[in-house]
Amino acid sequence: MTTLYSRELEIAQLAVQRASILTKRVFHETSKGTVSKDDASPVTIGDFGAQALIISALKHNFPHDSIVAEEEATELRANPSLRDQIWELVRTTSLDDVAAEGLLGGGIKDADAMLDIIDLGNSKGGRVGRIWTIDPIDGTKGFLRGGQYAVCLALLEDGEVKVGAIGCPNLPVDDAAPLTVDIGANATDDEGRGVLFSAVVGQGATSRPLKAGALAEGKSISMKPLTDMSNASFCESVEAGHSNQSESAQIAQKLGITKPSVRMDSQAKYGSIARGAGDIYLRLPTSKTYQEKIWDHAAGDLIVREAGGQVTDTRGNRLDFGVGRTLATNSGVIAAPKAVHSQVLSVVQEVLGVK
């Protein structure tokens, strides 16, 4: 049965799967060659390679769509050895399933074409038209330490998220596996790991095992009904620079949450609470001037909302993906089951002194 956005969803899922294969190869096979970036976050060869593969698939299928992506190829044009290392990975990464690989348009012609493709992610974003947002490796530090990271892709149409896909190679496949405090590290044993979350607006959210070929069968996911706040678990960033952890602890105490917070990188947090492995995700502002990037939240925002959750900023406003490349009008993120979101929001505002 063909539904609205069914082709976009299929291409997004397959593109994320193929890019996830590349990221796992980078982790297992190469020195994870980091180059520095202005914001001092490490960038790996996996970032560039995954972005090239995803944009190539999108341009093959939706040539007129715009793309907002994290990386640009300037660094690679100036560093032929890094370029060649990435090209070798891109050239030799494909889906096992011939038909699925064909849907993505197959491989990229050569290294120069790869650089040009990486640079196609330079859209300014905005409120008009179809724009894909890509985070080729969300949670670079988690990736480097063998913890949680995600390959994220979302379609915005006139500023609204319509399709989202998140590949989490190091999360347990089992939707019922509870979040453990150590999930942020040492999660690279492939046995039983690798999950692909996805959603289409108005059609619910699903999870499926992350495969190397055709798509596995998906299962509908939903947030856990939360009746007793003392049983709740909440996720936050590993990096103190990404979320104010002392304020998170105060909020948990006021809500009566007794479990320690689960700290993990990337939009794996959104997927985890969407399937009921966790309950609440808090990302509290660490500065008044910091602006979240749209590619860090678009897919996760949709997946949580389609799983029965609510996602707002600390002022109670929905995340606005139509402003540009950042969430310039939002401050922080609160994701929780709909039934308790207002309770969590009010405690967050009390602790932060937000009016």
Residues at the annotated binding site?
Answer: 70, 135, 137-138, 296
CA pair distance 199, 126, nearest whole angstrom:
22
HEC secondary structure over 296-310: HCHHHHHHHHHCCEE
If you search the block for the tokens 């899922």, which residue do you land on? 13
Measured CA angle at 284 (ends 278, 290), to 5 deg: 135
Say if residues 51 and 26 touch (Cβ distance below 8 Å). Answer: no
Pairing of strands 150-157, 130-138: antiparallel
Q: Rounded to whole angstroms, how far apart are CA atoms 295 and 318?
A: 16
Q: Is 228 a catalytic residue?
A: no
Question: Residue 59 is encoded by which pair of tokens?
Answer: 């341009």
Residue 312 catalytic? no
Please give the annotated binding residues for Mg(2+), written as ranges.
70, 135, 137-138, 296
Give the type of residue at 255.
L
DSSP-derived secondary structure for 277-289: S--EEEE--SSSS
Distance CA 344, CA 354 (A): 13
Active-site annotation holder among 23, 140, 312, 314:
140
Query: What's the distance, CA 327 to chain centroid?
Result: 15
Quote the tokens at residue 181: 């405090």
Question: For residues 319 and 98, what is the distance between their CA atoms, to the nearest angstrom?
Answer: 38
Burial class (CB in 10 A: 0-12, 13-18, 19+), 159: middle
Instruction: Select from 290, 287, 311, 288 the least CA-distant residue to 299.
Output: 311
Which position among 23, 47, 206, 314 bears the catalytic label? 47
* Catalytic positions: 47, 140
